[in-house]
Amino acid sequence: MPESPVAPAEVRLLDSGYSREARSLLYHAYRHEPTFGYLFEAERAGYEQRVRAMVREWVHQHFYQQLPALGLLVDDRLIGIALIAPPLRRLGVSESWAWRMRMLLSTGLRCTRRYLDYQAALMACLPGEQVHVLSLLGIHPQFQGQHYGEQLLEALHDWCADDPNSEGVVLDTGNDHYLAFYSRQGYREIGEIAVGPIRERVFFHPNPQRLHQVQA
């Protein structure tokens, strides 16, 4: 079992009332990620504004479509979040024409195309239709290294396992720093995609029901 976090945290299913906190947390969690650096052109002026815009538009559309979001709170402060795309609804956000138009206006044509190409390549790596996909996942940098990531993922796995039709959870990362962490949480690498110069790894965590079926 993983060590306990420094301060007790509460797991909560979030609604749109947490949009502002979610946007702030995810911006801080992703702005230094290499994948985002390529997608939104970190070498060009305005990078942070483009990352903020992407996170803002994704969170807005996610809650607008009433997709699930699992939060981790310490003293009522949101310190971790997982935006979840359930089976058969994975492409809802990026397929929205309203979302695409807002992305074009706020991040530009080239960045929007890069992001859509990245999403399409990720979807092509999925092991099947019946999986939950983590669209965005983050622990605020101030709370990293304190075992909150383990708690959030454990709660996420339990939540997804309540769906008897789900085979498991898929996430991806282009940051080598997280590879060992995901492996310790029971994820196995199922593929990789090229995001410009970034090697993006795709991981799968089987639901308990699915794992028992395979082992039987």
| pLDDT tens profile 164-212 | 888 999 999 999 999 999 999 999 999 999 999 999 999 999 986 554 4
Phi (first) and psi of residue 145, to 5 degrees: 75, 15
- pLDDT of the residue at 215: 42
- pLDDT of the residue at 6: 67
How far is the CA of 120 from the CAs of 95, 123, 161, 163, in angstroms? 11, 5, 26, 25
Instruction: Say if CB 72 and CB 9 are below 8 A apart.
Output: yes
- pLDDT of the residue at 93: 86
Q: How far apart are CA 81 and CA 71, in angstroms?
A: 4
- pLDDT of the residue at 4: 57
Q: How far apart are CA 107 and CA 158, in angstroms?
A: 36
- pLDDT of the residue at 128: 87
List of domains in the chain: 10-215 (3.40.630.30)
Q: Which residues of the chain have pLDDT under 70?
A: 1-6, 89-91, 208-216
- pLDDT of the residue at 212: 40
